[in-house]
Amino acid sequence: MITFEGITKSFGGVPVLRDVSFAVPPGRTVGIVGENGAGKSTLMNILGGNLQPDRGSMRWEGEVYAPRNPRDAARRGVAFVHQELNLFPNLSIAENLFLTTFPKLGRLPLIDRATLHRRTAEWLEQVGLTHPPDILVDRLSAGERQLVEIAKALSLDAKLIILDEPTTSLSAREAERLFALMGRLRERGIAMIYISHTLPDVLRLCDEIVVLRDGEVVGSGPRADFNIERMIALMVGRSLNQLYPERRAAPVEKAGEVILEVRGVTQPGIVRNVSMNLRCGEVLGIFGLMGAGRSELARILFGLDPCEKGDIRVAGQSVFGAPPRRRIQRGLAFLTENRREEGLCLEATIAENITLVSLRQYQSNRVGLLNMGRLREAVNAIRGAVRLTPTAGNEAPVKILSGGNQQKVVLAKWLLAKSGVLILDEPTRGIDVGAKFEIYQLIHELADNGAGVLMISSELEELTGICDRLLVMRRGEIVAELRREAFDGERILAAALGETVETGAP
């Protein structure tokens, strides 16, 4: 189907891809794995016609393939399903599918609505969606939107579909639905490139695997040649003997005074009678299935969403009913699950993002002028603290960074603000295994330095790997509390599913 031959690309003299060669046969799924910054996105941009290689070539079904733009790639049958879906939520499914190819009534400049709905229904049937074509995309779940993207690709007669981190925002059930569809597409002879940091899924779904590191292919071959340990070793250039760092001290025993106190927090239909304590030096995890109310609780604690009753205290002072600005001043920080839309100003520089909530601390006089020297020193110091990549300067736009480094910028922003309580919602979503380890280290360092960390994650293994204590939520309520010595995957899942579980807390 498609063959890459010696693809090489540099930006500003810095090599991003070096002599990349491999093939994707028809009806096969090839997995591409690598750390953030390994060159995966650049390679796919070359395949999709967004970039041109400096050297090397591509062949499509034996013929030279050199798309000058995305339209050329689409004409050949290349389609992308991106991590950040390219759908307009205010338009219907049908309007999204045929945005540039609306069927018309003869020669009249009018849309043939009957044909539009009929053809949309046909494509939706192929991906297993039963929604009416005129329903707004805004009303669909993340998994259903993913299927609409694939239906859109099929409507363009795609022969090669690139899926970039397709399960990042999906529930387990939605992911299984996507995997079943991928199997049907493969049976139809459609080739797929599957890019993911979820290595077990790569092993399960892909026929062949390609590992990139620093822009080079460091390993490739059939799935049988790989296991998770080998993929990780190839990706990071070393063997990771442990996925989670060890704490330097006994956290539960040394945990200090209560820094965050939540009592009876209730918002009808969202959360009910939620109470908890978070102590200085503690990493407290919250686990629950989709719809349990974890992210909603985090937004309530930070003041983004309303709360009918209860009390929230930070360092002993109530912030109930206070706006986020006041909660930030009291030392509360919030790393949202959607860093690109809610945690970062993508067009702003790295330095501007890091200093976003701390500018008042660096005013040199009452007029409000900033002491740029002090600010620059602080930014450089905090960059070192979070181990931000040195290849991008302070004035570089944050949008050019990898997912892991973008997450470090968000953490740096709150570290500079000297936050005492950090609420982290899915802090490692969409980042590679090496960057995850560094984020885990940072979380432990924050706790070791006296901060209280409240961490929400859909990955149970992640929570049991780094947390000191764990709360389980179900239908907006806390249904179990366990200390580290009582962590047990089956018991935690049982609590999340509504089965009886004994508490592991005193």
Average pLDDT estimate for 241-268: 75
Whole-number pLDDT of residue 210: 94
CA angle at residue 219 from 216 to 225, to 5 degrees? 170
E-assigned strands of 215-350? Answer: 216-222, 258-267, 271-279, 283-287, 309-314, 317-318, 332-335
Domains 2-242 and 257-497 are alike in CATH topology: yes
Higher-confidence residue of 180 and 172: namely: 180
Name the DSSP class of 245.
P
Confidence band for 499, pLDDT divided at 50, 70 and 90: low
- What is the number of other CB atoms lying within 10 angstroms of the CB of residue 110? 10
Whole-number pLDDT of residue 504: 47
Residue 23 has pLDDT above 90, yes or no: yes
Confidence band for 100, pLDDT divided at 50, 70 and 90: confident
Which tens digit of pLDDT belongs to each residue from 357-400? 887 777 776 667 777 888 888 888 888 888 787 778 888 888 87
Residue 203 has pLDDT above 70, yes or no: yes
Is the entire prediction scored with pTM above 0.95? no
Q: What is the 3-state secondary structure (H, E, C) of 389-450?
A: CCCCCCCCEHHHCCHHHHHHHHHHHHHHCCCCEEEEECCCCCCCHHHHHHHHHHHHHHHHCC
Q: Where along the chain do its domains lie? A: 2-242, 257-497
- What is the number of other CB atoms lying within 10 angstroms of the CB of residue 19? 15
Whole-number pLDDT of residue 57: 92
Whole-number pLDDT of residue 260: 94
Question: How does the average pLDDT of the chain come out, rounded?
Answer: 84
Average pLDDT estimate for 309-316: 93
* CATH code assigned to 2-242: 3.40.50.300
One-letter amino acid at 267 equals: Q
CATH architecture of 257-497: 3-Layer(aba) Sandwich (3.40)
Whole-number pLDDT of residue 271: 92
